[in-house]
Structure 1
Amino acid sequence: MFEKLEIVRMAQAMASHAGAQQGEIARNIANADTPGFKAQALPDFADLYDSGSGSGMRRTRALHGASVAEAASAPVARQTTGAASPNGNTVSLEGEMVRAVEVRQQHEMALAIYRSSSDILRISLGRQR
């Protein structure tokens, strides 16, 4: 029943997207010393959410017109722009740490949305915590 609510689907997709972003950040940090490695990042959740509101039109690309859940479950990494070190590596540890904090906040927001919506549903059904 709860999965059918758009706010719950959005919170679920947001949490899933945050997890995928943390994976990319971890991969970038793990390859911080790899010569020639290009740092990658996923598109923002807001961009995926806006593009995921399409109707039943024909898709010309994998994520074109996808629902929020589909778009968040299969995000495509893109290379980040930044100055390369002498060995060609573009990973900035400071930048990745800042991104990790932002993603953690996004995940916490998704959980707060989910908790608030479930509390509202419980209250409306006459059930307290």
Structure 2
Amino acid sequence: MFQQPEIMRMAQAMASHAAQRQNAVAQNVANADTPGYAARDLAPFAETYAAEGMALRQTRLGHLGTEGSPAAGLIPREGPGTRSPNGNSVSLETEMVKSVEVKRQHDLALTLYKTSLGVLRTSLGRG
């Protein structure tokens, strides 16, 4: 029976992470004027991927192994001197940059998926 290749699971996990991160950015923008609101973000995808037990495997000496790391979840994002007088830490400029990063991550996930699907089709003689 066909089992989903690791590269496709990774692309799916990356796209899902990008969607969750875009949601966090949208919440931050929506609460840009809320007094006392702290900007939030997700842990980086590499940490999330490793924490879920889907880390890349070390196959030879010299390859970098991965250690366990915290699971994904919204975490407050703090920077020095970023709070406004009402206690809000959302910077619309930072959120715009984060939004572009998320789009690039999602585009990368789609490219990984399409490329791996093309390789799979070619190997089956249908490409």
TM-score (norm 1): 0.80
Check conservation: 1:11, 1:113, Cα contact below 8 A.
Answer: yes
- Residue 110 of structure 1 corresponds to which residue in structure 2? 109
Q: Give the RMSD, CA atoms, in angstroms.
A: 1.9
1:52 Cα offset (Å) = 2.6
CA gap of 1:3–1:87, structure 2 versus 1, over 3 A, is: farther
Q: Do the aligned residues in 2 keep the contact of 1:2 with 1:8 (CA within 8 Å)? A: no
State whether residues 15 and 106 of structure 1, in contact with CA within 8 Å, keep that contact through their aligned partners in structure 2: yes
1:18-57 equivalence runs, <5 A: 18-53=18-53
Unaligned residue ranges in structure 2 (runs of 5+): 55-67
Which one-letter code corresponds to 2:96 in the other structure? M
Percent identity (aligned): 54
Structure-1 separation of matches of 2:120 and 2:5: 11
Name the SS of the counterpart of 1:37 in structure 2: coil
* TM superposition score normalised by structure 2: 0.81
What is the CA-CA distance between 1:53 and the residue it aligns to? 2.7
CA distance in 2, matches of 1:2, 1:96: 41
Question: Which residues of structure 1 form unaligned runs of 5+?
Answer: 55-64, 66-70
State the aligned residue count: 111
Q: Distance in 1 between matches of 2:37 and 2:15?
A: 27
Structure that is richer in helix per residue: 1
